[in-house]
Amino acid sequence: MLDDLGTPAGTHGAVRRVVSLVPSLTESLAATAPHLLAGATDWCTHPAPLPVRRIGGTKNPDLNAIVALEPDLVLANEEENRPADLEALRSAGVAVWVTRVRTLPEAFASLRRMLTLACGLPEPDWLAAAERAWAAPPVTAERKAVIPVWRKPWMVLGRDTFAGDLLLKLGVRNLYAGHPERYPGIALPELLAAGADLVVLPDEPYRFTAEDGPGFFPGTPAALVSGRHLTWYGPSLVEAPDVLRAALG
């Protein structure tokens, strides 16, 4: 059984205990089979409350605590989690399943494989509902946007990002989609000169707010959006089209 990276997951028998190192995967499993979830990161906020053992952050998990939970499977992501941590878990005899997502279709395929193949679960109703929610043809009237994800220093969405693909389907084209880096650091003067029709400001990973974000882009319309609906792939995708359209205006 191979994960999204083509790496053997190494599970043996039925999966009864799972630790998730990714907030969106935690929400996906909790919405499908909450009894399987034994541990999650400090950043796993949905659904709330989530009465499971907390095992640190996505970048600094407590590996000893994870091993002590004796999970049948650990869910991880190639972008959010460090390869060294995942290799340490494998060396300790823990099975690890790693997701890789760059587009909305990849998200649906990855979630389906993770839940049905890796976890041995029936396909959940929310996954089909999410696919239906995004089934409308992409909007063709494009607005050009810069999408900062950090401010100190400024960083934006670049090439091959899940969030960029979602925005494109909603008629918002990332001006840095052709950048060689996926999350390039761009100085504010360059962002201001990029010719954007819109600046999209999510509330994670950096928490942009009405008081901290739009004022840096005078004269350019700003949209404050939910980071969970823009960057998470899981049950949030069911309502994401409506939530994001309302925020984008």
Question: Do 155 and 65 fall within a single domain?
Answer: no
Rounded Cα–Cα distance for residues 77 and 66 (Å): 16
Rounded Cα–Cα distance for residues 198 and 219 (Å): 10
Please list the residues that pair with 174 across neighbouring strands: 145
3-state SS, residue 35: helix
| Domain-embedded: residue 6 | no
Rg (CA), the chain: 19
| Domain span at 167 | 143-248
| Domain-embedded: residue 4 | no
Stated pTM of the model: 0.94
Give the model confidence (pLDDT) of 219-229 as tens digits: 999 999 999 99
Give the model confidence (pLDDT) of 179-190 as tens digits: 999 999 999 999
Question: Do 46 and 95 fall within a single domain?
Answer: yes
CB 248 within 8 A of CB 170: yes
Question: Do 97 and 173 fall within a single domain?
Answer: no
Question: Do 119 and 147 fall within a single domain?
Answer: no
| Domain-embedded: residue 13 | no
Structural domain tally of the chain?
2
Question: Do 57 and 86 fall within a single domain?
Answer: yes
Order the strands of the 53-54 sheet from edge to edge: 53-54, 37-40, 18-20, 73-77, 96-99
Question: Do 99 and 42 fall within a single domain?
Answer: yes
Amino acid in the structure at residue 144: K
Give the closest residue to 133 by CA, choosing from 240, 39, 243, 9: 240
Give me the CATH number covering residue 81.
3.40.50.1980
Which residues 6+ apart lie within 8 Å of 10 measured at CB?
Answer: 90, 95, 96
**Which of 61, 95, 123 is where one domain is finished?**
123
| Domain-embedded: residue 216 | yes
Give the model confidence (pLDDT) of 82-97 as tens digits: 999 999 999 999 999 9
